A and B are shown apart, each in its own frame.
Chain A
Amino acid sequence: MNAENKMPDNSPIPPSHAPEEAVIDQAPAIPAGRIGQRLVDLGHTIEHLGNDAKGTEMIRLTREQALTVANVLRHDAECTFDMMLMVTGLDWKTHRESVYHLNSTTTFTYLIVKIAADEQDHSPSLMPVWHACDWHEREAYDLFGINYDGHPDLRRILMPNYWLGHPLRKDYVEDDPRLVWNRR
């Protein structure tokens, strides 16, 4: 054995990032949780988002399937999410999103359901399924401008009726002449 043969063995292998990058580009498939698996078994294609930091299961629904799947979540024997706790409006700068926090009063489990609004900020109202969405969706409309299609009484709830704009949006201007501190 001569030195030339030994050289490749001792020299560090040139790093090639190509295969690793390819792995990073493919987002690892998030496994379905208990509820997500149940929905898949019932024939609904949904997006699994894994668990949040506390371990609550999160799923995302498209606008078209939202009402159908919500009905399943409400009435299916294994889901039984009979209580809607709150609706969080979210502004991701590119689009708006509503987050429904559900609770089952028989199995005492939580579920987080996310529904992204379209470009015109339209999203289906889940009020036919959970009546409690009434005020919560009005609040999300008031603060984020998400228009809930099918909501019977979509008005502002916290801000005055004459208010312009939706204050919790990230692009909400603070130098608006209507605001008190800008009148000075």
Chain B
Amino acid sequence: MSVKSLNTELPGVSVEMGMDTNDMVVNIGPQHPSTHGVLRLVTTLNGEVVKEMEPVIGYLHRSKEKMGESRSLFQYQPTIDRVEYLSSFYDHLVFVNCVEQIADIPVPKRVQYIRMITMELNRITSHLLWFGTFLLDLGASTPFFWCFRDREEIFTLFEDLTGARMMYNYYRFGGVNNDLPAGWLEEVRAFVKEFPNRLDEYEAVVTKNPIVMDRTRGHGIMSKEFCLKYGVTGPALRAAGHALDLRKTNPYCCYDEIDFDVATATEADTYARYKVRVQEIRESLKIIEQCIQKMPGGDGGPLAELKREVETQTKAKKKWKEGEPEIVVPHWDKDWETMGKKINLLTYKPPAGEVTNFVESPRGVLGCHMITDGTPKAYRIKWRGASFSNLSALPELMRGHMYSDLMAIFGSLDVIMPEVDR
């Protein structure tokens, strides 16, 4: 709500009655419960209308880029989970892709599909957390618990696969740490089948809720030009009607083999960003379902047995002599491997090179610029967190809005502070 519309809607409250208010500087944060991290906003208010806003960041600066220069790439890898802890598979993918492209390491197809399934599940957890906390900011506390119940189910799946619930450290240069456990794909399939019903339930409560619509529709409008000006990406840009989704436009992994739609909206307000994210959860489920169908090698259990069989028969064939019954080695496809190339990670030295990779994380374009010089350490690693650019748009976005809309609008950007400060 701008200052002008405030005057028309509530006539006589402000300037017309001669009741001028003085500007007041209000400090919000760094430990405000709704800032989703440690963010300080120095806000100049006129009455309840935001005039100026200055985000103060850096409270969570953990020098991730300096750490990359002082450790070997393999030692550095576990720490990049913490760059953005709500969707850390994406950090790993963009980092691992950089090394793979510099060193020209092949990646088997099964690995690509495992990465796609884990990333899309991670996108769902991230969007669910956003869904819960966004509605919590608006005053609805029940969806928060629903979302956390569903996140727990996905985290249990991740724990079975990687051994960790949030800090996975699962991808390796040219592969993944371990193959899928037996029956894991079935569990994922069961989740994917059941989850849309629950999402319908949530939407039935929230999407047409008059309070939610009143507080979100028409507020925080970010047009396409505004997004491009500040480098805002992700659901905020797609809610402005621009279908920039790197999975579609610059496909990585095997996204070009998957049939899915890019969720877009045209209203460009807070409500549109909500709708885009919910639609993205549905698209992610669609992607996971197709990945399970197309997974080369299928479930992990039978594949592990087959691999054992292949290894024993290959050994037996080497000792085979004339006159003995013939030994048949079962067919083994290279696409079914979980490592493209055997690497001794402790002593691994990538060749000198330079590469930049971008992927579509739940918050927007996540990037990593890596320069190596032939030593085990990187010469320079630079992270581009989508939240950094998204947050830089907040002051102009909030200008002229009511203070009470701050949390609704800021929440709709889905900013996560560890990614801003790195």
Interface, chain A (partner B; CB < 8 A): 52-54, 56, 58, 82-86, 88-91, 99, 101, 103, 105, 108, 110, 112, 130-132, 134-136, 143, 157-160, 167-168
Known A-B contacts: A86-B384, A131-B229, A132-B229. Give 19 more (CB < 8 A). Answer: A52-B353, A52-B354, A53-B104, A83-B228, A85-B231, A85-B384, A86-B369, A86-B382, A99-B369, A108-B249, A108-B250, A110-B250, A112-B356, A134-B392, A136-B388, A157-B57, A158-B57, A159-B58, A160-B58
Can you list 26 A-B pairs with a CB-CB distance of less than 8 A? A52-B353, A52-B354, A52-B356, A53-B101, A53-B104, A53-B354, A53-B355, A54-B356, A56-B355, A83-B231, A85-B367, A85-B384, A86-B384, A88-B369, A90-B371, A101-B356, A108-B250, A130-B231, A132-B229, A132-B230, A132-B392, A157-B57, A158-B57, A158-B61, A159-B58, A168-B66
A38 to B347 CA separation, bound complex (whole angstroms)? 43
Give 6 closest A-B pairs by Cβ, nearest first: A132-B231, A53-B355, A86-B384, A108-B249, A158-B58, A88-B382
Interface, chain B (partner A; CB < 8 A): 57-58, 61, 63, 65-66, 69, 101-102, 104, 228-231, 233, 242, 244, 249-250, 353-358, 365, 367, 369, 371, 380, 382, 384, 388-389, 392, 421-422
A residues near B228, Cβ cutoff 8 Å:
82-83, 105
B residues near A130, Cβ cutoff 8 Å:
231
B residues near A88, Cβ cutoff 8 Å:
369, 380, 382
A114 to B230 CA separation, bound complex (whole angstroms)? 20
Residue of A nearest to B237 (CB): A105
A112 to B421 CA separation, bound complex (whole angstroms)? 23
A64 to B57 CA separation, bound complex (whole angstroms)? 33
Option from B57, B65, B102, B231 in Cβ contact (under 8 Å) with A53: B102
A160 to B421 CA separation, bound complex (whole angstroms)? 12
Question: Are B384 and A101 in contact, CB atoms less than 8 angstroms apart?
Answer: yes
A136 to B101 CA separation, bound complex (whole angstroms)? 26
A58 to B389 CA separation, bound complex (whole angstroms)? 23
Question: Are A157 and B66 in contact, CB atoms less than 8 angstroms apart?
Answer: no
Chain A proximity of B105: nearest CB distance (Å): 11
Option from A54, A131, A168 in Cβ contact (under 8 Å) with B65: A168
Option from B242, B367, B422 in Cβ contact (under 8 Å) with A101: B367
Residue of A nearest to B60 (CB): A158
Question: Are A53 and B353 in contact, CB atoms less than 8 angstroms apart?
Answer: yes
A103 to B365 CA separation, bound complex (whole angstroms)? 11
Option from B69, B358, B388, B421 in Cβ contact (under 8 Å) with A110: B358
Question: Are A52 and B231 in contact, CB atoms less than 8 angstroms apart?
Answer: no
Residue of A nearest to B383 (CB): A86
A residues near B356, Cβ cutoff 8 Å:
52, 54, 56, 101, 110, 112
A43 to B85 CA separation, bound complex (whole angstroms)? 47
Chain B proximity of A183: nearest CB distance (Å): 18
Question: Are B421 and A158 in contact, CB atoms less than 8 angstroms apart?
Answer: yes
B residues near A82, Cβ cutoff 8 Å:
228
Option from B65, B355, B388, B422 in Cβ contact (under 8 Å) with A52: B355
B residues near A136, Cβ cutoff 8 Å:
388-389
Question: Are B58 and A54 in contact, CB atoms less than 8 angstroms apart?
Answer: no
Option from A52, A86, A143, A159 in Cβ contact (under 8 Å) with B367: A86
Question: Are A84 and B231 in contact, CB atoms less than 8 angstroms apart?
Answer: yes
A85 to B355 CA separation, bound complex (whole angstroms)? 15
Option from B58, B101, B233, B367 in Cβ contact (under 8 Å) with A157: B58
A124 to B384 CA separation, bound complex (whole angstroms)? 21
A100 to B102 CA separation, bound complex (whole angstroms)? 20
B residues near A135, Cβ cutoff 8 Å:
388-389, 392
A5 to B102 CA separation, bound complex (whole angstroms)? 53
Option from A85, A99, A112, A159 in Cβ contact (under 8 Å) with B61: A159
B residues near A101, Cβ cutoff 8 Å:
356, 367, 369, 384
Residue of B nearest to A160 (CB): B58
Residue of B nearest to A133 (CB): B231
Question: Are A105 and B382 in contact, CB atoms less than 8 angstroms apart?
Answer: no
Residue of B nearest to A105 (CB): B244
Interface centre among A110, A143, A157 (most CB of B within 10 A): A157
Residue of A nearest to B389 (CB): A132
Question: Are A167 and B63 in contact, CB atoms less than 8 angstroms apart?
Answer: yes
A residues near B388, Cβ cutoff 8 Å:
135-136
Residue of A nearest to B396 (CB): A131
A residues near B369, Cβ cutoff 8 Å:
86, 88, 99, 101
Chain A proximity of B367: nearest CB distance (Å): 6
A58 to B231 CA separation, bound complex (whole angstroms)? 20
A residues near B65, Cβ cutoff 8 Å:
143, 168
A residues near B249, Cβ cutoff 8 Å:
108
B residues near A132, Cβ cutoff 8 Å:
229-231, 389, 392
A56 to B369 CA separation, bound complex (whole angstroms)? 12
A residues near B102, Cβ cutoff 8 Å:
53
Interface centre among B69, B228, B356, B367 (most CB of A within 10 A): B356
Chain A proximity of B237: nearest CB distance (Å): 8
Residue of B nearest to A167 (CB): B66
A108 to B242 CA separation, bound complex (whole angstroms)? 12
Chain B proximity of A145: nearest CB distance (Å): 15
Residue of A nearest to B351 (CB): A53
